[in-house]
Amino acid sequence: MTGRRASKKSSAPVIDPYLPTAGNFGYRVSRYELELEYKVAINRLGGTATVTAVTLAELQTFSLDLSSALSVAKVTVNGKRPKHFRTDRDKLHITLADRLPAGAAMTVAVRYSGTPRPKRTPWGEVGFEELTEGALVAGQPNGASSWFPCDDHPSAKASFRIQIATESAYLTLANGKLLSRRARAGMTTWTYEQSEPTSTYLITLQVGPYTRRRMAKNGVEIFSVLPDRLRREFDHDFGRQPQMMKLFVKLFGPYPLADGYTVVVTDDDLEIPLEAQGISIFGANHCDGRRGSERLVAHELAHQWFGNSVTAQRWRHIWLHEGFACYAEWLWSDHCGERSADDWARHYHRRLVDSPQDLVLADPGPQDMFDDRVYKRGALALHTLRRRIGDDAFFALLREWTSRYRHASVVTDDFIALAAQYTEDSLRPLWAAWLYSAEVPELDLP
């Protein structure tokens, strides 16, 4: 079966009503291997993507998500050409000559090329984007298909190997461990391995006139990738990240990735920072020499636990990403002796009360899933829970949450069920008020 937009004229099932055309049926991907070349000067991308999967049912037709801006030259499935393939509305549809049984191994190789561009979505342009000098990928929520064929849904996690050749003047960064870097004839081929299961939207590519340095050697390795002109401001604005990492490991549990954490600052300004697996991406405007974006630094780092490792199964549960990362901002502020978490809670509670009260946190709707109220109300729900069950139980709960569901997919009920184990009192009234009602509850703080 292929993923299609749900409408009154079609009863075709969808994986996620928030993004009804994203994701695909009939198989589960375990690995992507990309062998690509990108020419910065002409914004030209091409190469081969090899997708390793297993069929979930008897299968003769299936689809992959792939931007219509990219042209497919050749497809093979288990080494053989299919009966037919076609591209239509950001889908690559494949029909096999013979059916594959359920549980069969399936290796799909797609040779493609084109001029990549961001996808236009209700939340702005997402995906592969040209910079003044270089490129970046901002994949959330459905931008991965702007540069490689995939099953583009957060619950579809896989490992990745990304090999990409670019002009040697540029540093090229992708997720995971750098396995090799080979220069030849003015081009450098970079090969990265992301071994931990990762959602497609968290796979990124960063190309630019950057320098890479190690920021911290003890505990979790932290690296920086940015233009030399921003180094002085960066060292001040992002300099407390090692302490931030130490705090979050203490509160949230072990850092979930083996190959460290990298912060990228582009030579261009960016409207908002972006998270990726093991990587956070900031714009030059976030280096102001005054630590003016430090709350965002904390937010993006926290996503490595909440969102990147423990990932919402469907986008309606996005508060499990953004509410937790927002609350990490308050925890860092409190830890630094600046504004306390109680003060932040009071501040944002007042703002929420003065805002439209028409958002249900556990199901905000696709138009509002990135609304700031999701972030702040989610953080307030967590702070209310913390005050209800106490610090010891609350942070033990967070550590078990990140351990039990490490590199897995979750829904709100998973968190509710786990939280119930950390108190003898019923939490139903708390969840009813904060997660399932539009009205903003009163804030019960001393």
In terms of Cα–Cα distance, which of 390, 401, 381 is closest to 423?
A: 390
295 and 368 part of one domain: no
Q: How far is CA 63 from the centre of its chain?
A: 22
pLDDT, position 441: 97
Distances in whole angstroms, Cα of residue 356 to Cα of each of 349, 359, 382, 432: 13, 8, 21, 19
Q: Is residue 96, in this structure, part of any structural domain at all?
A: yes
Q: Is 300 a catalytic residue?
A: yes
Do 193 and 119 belong to one domain?
A: yes
Instruction: Name the pairing type of β-strands 211-216 and 124-131.
Output: unpaired
Domain boundary among 208, 233, 259: 208
Q: Which of 187, 208, 229 is the last residue of a domain?
A: 208
| Mean pLDDT (the chain, rounded) | 96
The neighbour count for residue 71, using CB atoms within 10 Å, is 13
63 Cβ partners below 8 Å, 6+ apart?
A: 2, 3, 24, 91, 92, 93, 94
Q: Rounded to an integer, what distance in angstroms lies between the CA atom of residue 57 and that of residue 309?
A: 28
Domain end call among 208, 240, 269: 208
Residue with tokens 């978490």: 341
| pLDDT score, position 12 | 64
Give me the tens of pLDDT residue by residue for the chain, a chain 446 residues long. 223 233 334 456 899 999 999 999 999 999 999 999 999 999 999 999 999 999 999 999 999 999 999 999 999 999 999 999 999 999 999 999 999 999 999 999 999 999 999 999 999 999 999 999 999 999 999 999 999 999 999 999 999 999 999 999 999 999 999 999 999 999 999 999 999 999 999 999 999 999 999 998 778 999 999 999 999 999 999 999 999 999 999 999 999 999 999 999 999 999 999 999 999 999 999 999 999 999 999 999 999 999 999 999 999 999 999 999 999 999 999 999 999 999 999 999 999 999 999 999 999 999 999 999 999 999 999 999 999 999 999 999 999 999 999 999 999 999 999 999 999 999 999 999 999 999 999 998 87
The CATH number of the domain holding residue 33 is: 2.60.40.1730
| Cβ-contact 91, 72 below 8 angstroms | no
Query: Residue for token digits 């926290």?
Result: 302
| 342 part of a folded domain | yes
User: What is the C-alpha to C-alpha distance for residues 40 and 354, in angstroms, rounded to an integer?
Assistant: 47
Domain around 83: 27-208
Residue 256 phi, psi dihedral angles, 5° rounding? -80, 0
Which listed residue (18, 192, 201, 375) is catalytic? Answer: 375
Computed from CA positions of residues 47, 194, 51, 17, in that sequence, does the dihedral angle turn out positive or negative? negative
Residues 204 and 218 in one domain: no
Strands (DSSP E) contained in 139-176 are 157-167, 171-174
Which amino acid type is present at position 382?
L
Residues 266 and 338 in one domain: no
Contact partners, residue 283, CB within 8 Å, separation at least 6: 265, 266, 268, 269, 270, 271, 273
Tokens of 312: 């919402």
Q: Quick one: pLDDT at residue 265? A: 98
What span, in angstroms and rounded, lies between the C-alpha atoms of 19 and 329? 28
For residues 253 and 368, state if they share a domain.
Answer: no
CATH code of the domain containing 218: 3.30.2010.30
Q: HSE on the CB side for 282, CA within 13 Å? A: 28
> Do 245 and 369 fall into the same domain?
no
Rounded to the nearest 10°, the torsion over CA 18, 21, 27, 29 is -80
Q: Confirm whether 167 is a catalytic residue.
A: no
Reply yes or no: is the peptide bond before residue 141 cis, omega within 30 of 0: yes
Q: Do 219 and 276 reside in the same domain of the chain? A: yes
Q: Is residue 254 part of a domain?
A: yes
Both 199 and 221 in a single domain?
Answer: no
Q: How many CA atoms lie within 13 Å of 147's alpha carbon, on the beta-carbon side? A: 32
Residue 21 lies in a domain: no
Within-domain flag for 307: no
Q: Is 225 a member of any domain?
A: yes
**Same domain flag for 233 and 200:** no
Instruction: Give the pLDDT confidence score for residue 5 in this predicted structure.
Output: 32
| 62/167 same-domain check | yes
Annotated binding site for Zn(2+): 299, 303, 322
Nearest alpha carbon to residue 382 among 411, 426, 341? 341
360 shares a domain with 317? yes
Same domain, 316 and 369: yes
Out of 300, 327, 329, 348, the active site residue is 300
Does residue 294 belong to any structural domain of this protein? Answer: yes
Whole-number Å distance between alpha carbons of 322 and 352: 16
Are 423 and 393 in contact by the 8 Å Cβ rule? The answer is yes
CA 310, distance to chain mean position in Å, is 10
Q: What is the pLDDT of residue 2?
A: 28
How many domains are there within the chain? 3
340 found inside a domain: yes
CATH of the domain at 422: 1.10.390.10
Q: What is the spatial distance between Cα 262 and Cα 339, in angstroms, rounded to a whole number?
A: 27
Dihedral sign, CA of 20, 26, 29, 33? Answer: negative
Distance between CA atoms of residues 444 and 258, nearest Å = 40
From CA 76, how far away is CA 247, in angstroms rounded? 48
